[in-house]
Amino acid sequence: MMASSRKDACGLNGEEPSLSLTSNNDKSLVNGATTEASALSKPQNGGGTGAERFAFSPEPTIEDIRRMQAQFTDERDWNQFHQPRNLLLAMVGEVGEVSELFQWRGEVAEGLPAWTEAEREHLAQELSDVLIYLVELAEKCRVDLPQAVLRKMALNRLKYPANKVHGSAKKYTEYKD
């Protein structure tokens, strides 16, 4: 399914243990987060209803991830393959690998309470592959992703004013005055 290191964004499946994205081996395998964050991440039935909110570790930043992947790619002379279109297709392939993990399960509750630790770790790896390719795609397209996210979130707030859309799943076109 994913034996080739070429397929994975950063060799998380074995041969490159140096990358620290999943270096914490406690129970927080889904996110490799800190102990404090993992306490918050305990599966809750129906989750997201209380004050407790799952949070990521502050590091690595998106720029850290860009730099780690650039180093990984440089060390292997793989930039010759990592043009934007190839990176996009690779990312979509990784999205497919994430989808495989959810396929045929029916609805999955927040916190993935029915998943084994091995399944959670597999998901963590595939989501990481998606993120790593996304970050490298943005780099190769000269999109400053953190700043672009700020601009897009501002647009989303304009498009979906909280007082207008609260609790509704309607598309923004249905809110036009």
Answer yes or no whether residue 136 interacts with Mg ion by CB under 5 A. no
Distance between CA atoms of residues 69 and 71, nearest Å? 5
CB nearer Mg ion, residue 94 or residue 139: 94
Answer yes or no whether residue 129 interacts with Mg ion by CB under 5 A. yes
Number of residues that bind Mg ion (CB under 5 A): 5
Residues 1-60 that bind Mg ion (CB under 5 A): 8
Of 14-22, 81-89, 120-128, 138-146, the segment contacting Mg ion by CB under 5 A is 120-128
Distance between CA atoms of residues 52 and 55, nearest Å? 9
Sign of the CA dihedral running 104, 106, 108, 112: negative
N-term to C-term CA, the chain: 50
Are 98 and 126 in contact by the 8 Å Cβ rule? The answer is: yes
CB nearer Mg ion, residue 15 or residue 177: 15
Answer yes or no whether residue 97 interacts with Mg ion by CB under 5 A. yes
Residues in contact with Mg ion by the rule CB under 5 A: 8, 94, 97, 126, 129
